[in-house]
């Protein structure tokens, strides 16, 4: 065991457990340094024991309590006045600080905004603002359209599709959403209206390709018929393969079968 | 004497037997049993949803003054083939209340009733009705309170759907049967393949887009006189009849007067679009074969 100062003090104060004491005493037998320290420690303890502790004078407690009493009395007397006073001070000192800070902030904002506005010619500025605003409105419309397309109500999804008419810059994200609706929407009418909206973008090659790809996916004879109309109008010969595939899968009772056969025939010429 | 008594007893027994035998031979024709299930809404005064999906049969939705959803169901007697085992006498009516409490969420209360023909569930004002046996042919009549409702009705293989006096949004799909909606307030999206669509509106939700489509069948819709809309009419060889002053886009279309003093007609031959009362809601009416009627409410 190494020399442990802490153990040593505990031993001197007699604060060790039996096991610890035995262990420490064994160490003490071997270690001269520790023995020396113990000797000095005991000496200090003995000396401390000899110091006389002065006893408190007889009337001290009574005198102290009296003093305390007198003090609390004086504090109480003061406190009402002081409280009022401090409140008043708060009113006059604290609040104006806040107000001042607030008005300063307003002033700074006012000055910077005014500076920014004045720095540009007013005509430019309003134009810029209008374009900024309209682009924001457009962004909002896009967001609304995209989120409404996920709505469980078919009426809301129809509304979403009709929003595309108001969006001037129809980007790939919107086209994707429309194509997904065309292929996956559970309501036939929503698919029909979506198809109607997509026709406007049929000059984009991607839309055209996706429309052709969609032919084979459509279960509803109404949508099949609408797609046949569109392909006829676009004179899209690449759609013939898709229609042929569709006919392979559809039953003889499909009422648009003759129409599709006619479309294939006319497009194959 | 003993003999006589024996004879009397035996003949009596015979009589009893024969009577019981007769009873077995000619069972009383049971009247087609009808069931009725009432469902309370979680919030009776709030808007609710009603979804019904049948394989075959008829759906009728009407309003009444009560607060509950009342579902009446019976086997469709018009059809010759009854659903197998449909007449069994065991009443399997069972009601269950399931409380699924998800910590941190408002507890959802689901009530479900399984009758002989239809099963009805209600969760937070959303009512779902479906057949107990998937392919049974049943007539369902639902009485609903006058609250705003989101209706979602469909029949897969035929039968008719009729709705009366309902206020709200209706989404109707009936590929092989007719759709008749009368005195509706709100908006409608209806689709069929081989059926006619007939709708009359008491009032229309402003700017609400609507669509009516069928492949082979006529579309006949009556709107309020002040109805504002952008109409798109599409038909391969149908004729459009209307008594609205329709402003057509493009010069091609022109309405011609029909015999009746107010109705006008024009060939659609593909696509037509026009504005009614200055334009407004986007309305699509599309079929392949069949006429399209757009009427003004008188």
Mark yes or no for CB contact B191/A222 under 8 Å.
yes
Nearest CA in chain B to A158: B209
Residues B58-85 have a mean pLDDT of: 79
pTM: 0.67
Top residue of A154, A162, A196, A233 to mutate, by most chain B CBs within 10 Å, is: A154
| Nearest-angstrom CA–CA distance, B85 and A45 | 104
Q: What confidence category does residue B231 fall into, taking pLDDT thresholds of 50, 70 and 90?
A: very high
Cβ–Cβ < 8 Å for B31, B108:
no
Longest dimension (CA), chain A: 130
Helix axes A188-199, A221-234, angle to 10 degrees: 10
Which residues fall within 8 angstroms of residue B11, CB to CB, at 6 or more apart? none
pLDDT of residue B25: 46
pLDDT of residue A46: 86
If asked whether residues B124 and B187 sit together in one domain, one would say no
If phi > 0 it is left, if psi is from -120 to 50 it is alpha, else beta; for residue B219 that is beta
If asked whether residues B82 and B186 sit together in one domain, one would say no
Please give the DSSP secondary-structure letter assigned to residue B216: B
Mark yes or no for CB contact A192/B211 under 8 Å.
yes
Residues B232-251 have a mean pLDDT of: 84
Nearest CA in chain A to B190: A189
Residues B87-93 have a mean pLDDT of: 44
Cβ–Cβ < 8 Å for A250, A257:
yes
Q: Which residues pair with B216 in a beta bridge?
A: B289
What number of other Cβ atoms are within 10 A of residue B295's Cβ? 18
Mark yes or no for CB contact A196/B284 under 8 Å.
yes
Token pair 């010619």: residue: A121
Q: Which of B193, B236, B284 sits opposite A189 (nearest CB)?
A: B284
Q: Work out whether strand B69-75 and strand B137-144 pair parallel, antiparallel, or are unpaired.
A: antiparallel
Q: Which of B193, B236, B270 sits opposite A221 (nearest CB)?
A: B193
For A223-261, what is each residue's pLDDT tens digit?
A: 999 999 999 999 999 999 999 988 888 777 788 888 999
If asked whether residues B135 and B183 sit together in one domain, one would say no
Measured between beta carbons, the chain B residues lying within 8 angstroms of A162 are: 209, 282
Please provide the DSSP assignment of A48-78 as one string: HHHSPPPPPPTTHHHHHHHHHHHHHHHHHHH
Token pair 């086997």: residue: B75
Residues A13-20 have a mean pLDDT of: 83
* Residue with the larger pLDDT of the pair B61 and B94: B61
What mean pLDDT, rounded, does chain B reach? 82
Q: Is B126 on the interface with A (CB under 8 A)?
A: no
Q: What confidence category does residue A92 fall into, taking pLDDT thresholds of 50, 70 and 90?
A: low
Token pair 């442990």: residue: A4
**Tokens representing B39?**
């469902």
| Nearest-angstrom CA–CA distance, B22 and A60 | 121
**Tokens representing A117?**
């506005």
Mean pLDDT is lowest, of A78-92, B14-28, B252-266, for B14-28
Nearest CA in chain B to A233: B270
If asked whether residues B70 and B127 sit together in one domain, one would say yes
Nearest to B181, CA basis, from B209, B297, B215, B190 = B190
Nearest CA in chain B to A229: B270
Residues B153-170 have a mean pLDDT of: 94
| Nearest-angstrom CA–CA distance, A151 and A156 | 6
ipTM confidence: 0.76
Cα B279 to Cα B243, B264, B282, distances in angstroms? 16, 19, 8
- What is the number of structural domains in chain B? 2
> Does the structure show a pLDDT above 50 at B87?
no
Q: Is B232 on the interface with A (CB under 8 A)?
A: yes
- Helix (H), strand (E) at residue A22: helix A18-30
> Does the structure show a pLDDT above 60 at B92?
no
Domain residue extents for chain A: 5-46
| Nearest-angstrom CA–CA distance, B210 and B208 | 6
Nearest to A261, CA basis, from A230, A225, A236, A234 = A225
Longest dimension (CA), chain B: 110
Exposure of A214 in the CB half-sphere (CA atoms within 13 A): 29
Top residue of A145, A148, A157, A158 to mutate, by most chain B CBs within 10 Å, is: A158
Q: Domain of B280? A: 178-298
**Tokens representing A224?**
């099949």
What percentage of chain A exceeds 90 in pLDDT?
A: 26
3-class state of residue B95 by DSSP: strand
Measured between beta carbons, the chain A residues lying within 8 angstroms of B236 are: 225, 259
Classify residue B11 by burial, with Cβ atoms within 10 Å: 0-12, 13-18, 19+. exposed
* Residue with the larger pLDDT of the pair A95 and B115: B115
Mean pLDDT is lowest, of B144-148, B269-273, B292-296, for B269-273
Cβ–Cβ < 8 Å for B242, B267:
no
For B198-212, what is each residue's pLDDT tens digit?
A: 999 999 998 899 999
**Tokens representing A167?**
């969006």
pLDDT of residue B89: 40
Sign of CA dihedral A98, A102, A103, A107: positive
Nearest to B203, CA basis, from B172, B181, B174, B225 = B225
Q: Which of A158, A221, A222 sits opposite B189 (nearest CB)?
A: A158
**Tokens representing B44?**
């009776």
Residues B215-233 have a mean pLDDT of: 94
To the nearest whole Å, the CA of B193 is away from the closest chain A CA by: 7
Sign of CA dihedral A203, A197, A226, B269: negative
Residues constituting chain A: 269
Domain-embedded: residue B120 = yes
Q: Which of A155, A188, A190 sits opposite B208 (nearest CB)?
A: A155
> Does the structure show a pLDDT above 80 at A66?
yes
3-class state of residue A166 by DSSP: helix
- Helix (H), strand (E) at residue A7: helix A5-12
Mark yes or no for CB contact A225/B169 under 8 Å.
no
**Tokens representing B23?**
């009873």
Q: Which of A155, A220, A255 sits opposite B189 (nearest CB)?
A: A155
If asked whether residues B63 and B123 sit together in one domain, one would say yes
Mark yes or no for CB contact B171/A153 under 8 Å.
yes
């Amino acid at each position: 065991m190494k020399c442990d100062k802490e153990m040593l003090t505990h031993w001197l104060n007699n604060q060790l457990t039996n096991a610890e004491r035995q262990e420490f005493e064994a160490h003490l037998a071997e270690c001269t340094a520790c023995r020396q320290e113990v000797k000095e420690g005991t000496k200090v303890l003995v000396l401390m024991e000899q110091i006389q502790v002065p006893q408190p004078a007889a009337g001290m407690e009574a005198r102290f309590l009296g003093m305390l009493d007198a003090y609390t009395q004086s504090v109480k007397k003061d406190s009402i006045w002081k409280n009022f006073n401090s409140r008043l001070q708060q009113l006059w000192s604290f609040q104006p600080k806040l107000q001042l800070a607030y008005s300063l902030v307003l002033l700074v904002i006012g000055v910077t905004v005014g500076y920014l506005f004045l720095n540009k010619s007013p005509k430019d500025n309003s134009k810029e603002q209008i374009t900024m605003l309209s682009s924001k409105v457009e962004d909002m419309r896009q967001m609304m359209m995209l989120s409404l397309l996920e709505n469980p109500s078919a009426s809301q999804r129809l509304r979403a599709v009709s929003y595309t008419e108001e969006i001037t810059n129809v980007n790939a994200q919107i086209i994707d959403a429309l194509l997904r609706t065309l292929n996956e929407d559970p309501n036939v009418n929503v698919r029909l209206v979506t198809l109607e909206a997509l026709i406007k973008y049929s000059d984009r090659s991607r839309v055209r390709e996706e429309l052709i790809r969609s032919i084979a996916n459509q279960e509803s004879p109404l949508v099949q018929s609408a797609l046949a109309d569109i392909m006829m109008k676009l004179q899209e010969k690449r759609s013939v393969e898709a229609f042929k595939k569709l006919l392979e899968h559809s039953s003889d009772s499909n009422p648009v079968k003759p129409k599709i056969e006619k479309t294939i025939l006319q497009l194959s010429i | 004497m003993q003999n006589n008594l024996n004879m009397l007893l035996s003949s009596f027994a015979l009589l009893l037997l024969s009577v019981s035998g007769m009873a077995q031979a000619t069972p009383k024709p049971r009247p087609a049993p009808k069931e009725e299930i009432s469902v309370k809404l979680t919030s009776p005064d709030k808007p609710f949803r009603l979804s019904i999906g049948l394989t075959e049969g008829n759906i009728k939705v009407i309003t009444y003054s009560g607060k509950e959803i009342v579902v009446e169901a019976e086997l469709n007697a018009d059809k010759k083939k009854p659903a197998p085992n449909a007449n069994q006498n065991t009443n399997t009516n069972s009601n269950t209340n399931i409380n699924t409490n998800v910590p941190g969420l408002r507890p959802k209360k689901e009530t479900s009733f399984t009758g002989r023909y239809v099963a009805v569930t209600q969760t937070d004002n959303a009512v779902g009705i479906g057949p107990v046996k998937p392919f049974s042919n049943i007539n369902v009549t639902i009485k609903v309170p006058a609250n705003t409702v989101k209706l979602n009705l469909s029949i897969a293989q035929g039968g008719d759907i009729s709705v009366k006096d309902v206020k709200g949004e209706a989404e109707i799909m009936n590929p092989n049967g007719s759709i008749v909606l009368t005195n509706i307030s709100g908006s409608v999206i209806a689709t069929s393949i081989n059926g006619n669509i007939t709708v009359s509106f008491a009032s229309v939700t402003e700017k609400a887009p609507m669509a009516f489509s069928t492949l082979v069948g006529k579309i006949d819709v009556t709107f309020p006189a002040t109805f504002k809309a952008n109409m798109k009419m599409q038909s391969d060889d149908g004729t459009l009849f209307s008594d609205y002053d329709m402003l057509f886009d493009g010069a091609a279309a022109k309405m011609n007067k029909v015999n009746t003093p107010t109705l006008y007609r024009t060939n659609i031959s593909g696509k037509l679009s026009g504005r009614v009362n200055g334009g407004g809601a986007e309305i699509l009416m599309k079929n392949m074969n069949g006429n399209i009627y757009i009427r003004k409410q008188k």
